[in-house]
Structure 1
Amino acid sequence: MRERIQQLGLLAAGAVVGVMLSLNFSAEANKTPATPLPIEELRTFTEVFGRIKSDYVENIDDKKLITEAINGMLSGLDPHSAYLDPDNFKELQAGTQGEFGGLGIEVGMEDGFVKVVSPIEDSPASRAGLKPGDLIIKLDDTPVKGMSINDAVKRMRGKPDTDITVTILRKGEPKPFPVKLTRAVIKTQSVKSKLLESGYGFVRITQFQEHTGEDLAKAIKKLYAENKGDLKGLVLDLRNDPGGLLNAAVGVSGAFLPKNALVVYTDGRTDDAKMKLFSVPE
């Protein structure tokens, strides 16, 4: 296992370069003969678009209509295909890099409100005294009720040194109270570990980020040191992990698989969609 950890560290440093699987509309696609565009169907689309513009009860922004049409087209393909506009793509990159401007709160939803699961240590939220179980019911002057968790997170994130006021509903307090927070650069920890008992370690991976492979290697080495010897067993907890970078997941696999074991392969209609990823570079 120790040898595998050393290999993992090398892999994480040299090979985990942040490859994300996505729809790739590249020049490679031009090598495949394209079928003619469905002119009649596109004509129907433009007619519906025009009718919405002229007859819908409210004025609708053109960009919103086009974006929603693209979203519908891609979401109908499979659960993993999605359209990312520049803002959403930036959010995705921030999540996989493990660093962003925000408040430093791990959150969930409860009764339609944002629930504080845990403030991140030494973050604006922890310094302001937010506690696990607190419910955020307003962000500035906007009620949270009815927002999705993604919309709420997007509002809480922002440029460092900008302010936001969150209204907190706390058990035991007679009424909600406001807390003014100043956003800061938040570095998320995707790997958490502890020694359960002598000989048995526990590692939790919350998301596959850019440095997850390196962080896993450090965490397991730390467990060896705390145990003062080899481990008999290791629990790897991936519950509720939303995914992340493919090569980070391959790097993690490298700690537990034989050398040069095939971890995953991808296939597609274009050459750049065909890959084989191994536990360590061949």
Structure 2
Amino acid sequence: MDHIAIMRYDSDVVSINARIKLRQNLFSFLLEGQKSVQYIGAPVTINPHQFLLMSAGNCLMSEKIAAAGGRYRSVLFFFDNKILIDFFFRHPQALKTSTHKNNEAPFLVFEKDAFLINFIDSLGFMLALDQPCSAEMRRVKLEELLLYLSEHYPDKIQQLRSFSEEADDDLLIRQAVTDNIYNTVTVEELAFLCNMSLSTFKRRFARIYGTSPNKWLLEKKMQKAAQLLKQGECKASEIYFELGYENLSSFIQSFKQVHGITPKQYQLSN
């Protein structure tokens, strides 16, 4: 695997929650369509006026086409953590002390400005050449980008230091489940985000919470549902989606499983 790689990615197929194992960090320069990425507790969606820097690791990725007849188009710029270490070693000013609290999300979102638009165009011209660009040229282009970002987004660039840090497994599981209680994410997808097999995830989850992931998530959702219904301002048809259910009948069935009565009966009794 190259330490630095640049490629073009075009598709006319919609992709929802594809399981992606990023072995390198990635600048994703979106040209057309919409991109959504879900790390543990950290969802993000970008449009073509933005681009994304993603850390190596597991994520769920969705790619949508903007309109009928359109396409999903992007330029992808992969690089190793060792490249970052070398960059920060040679440019210590990029790590100057910041007065702002760093965001610990495993991604950074940038808005495209005139310089960055021209930079992305230059990558497109390089990819259009008959000969593949050399390793040295790829390194120069990444250096150019990192230097520009460190000068114009100093607070964000410092967050790159935490991209290679490994999280404690128990903390990872706690964050994954608590941040996704009301999202339409399956237990299998949570295990994937934690970079664990399903059986390992379930075993460690049971050790932490004393129950299964499905039961724990169900009870938490239904506690929230009961709270909302008890307030009397919302109907079941108005809250099922925000609790992570795609249809009302599934929500009613789950509510009855936990509380023994339907949401409507629960509201009337309270």
Q: Which TM class, normalised by the smaller chain length? A: under 0.3
TM-score by length of 1: 0.25
Point out which structure has higher relative CO (alpha carbons under 8 A, 6+ apart): 1
TM-score by length of 2: 0.26
Which structure would you say has the larger Rg?
1
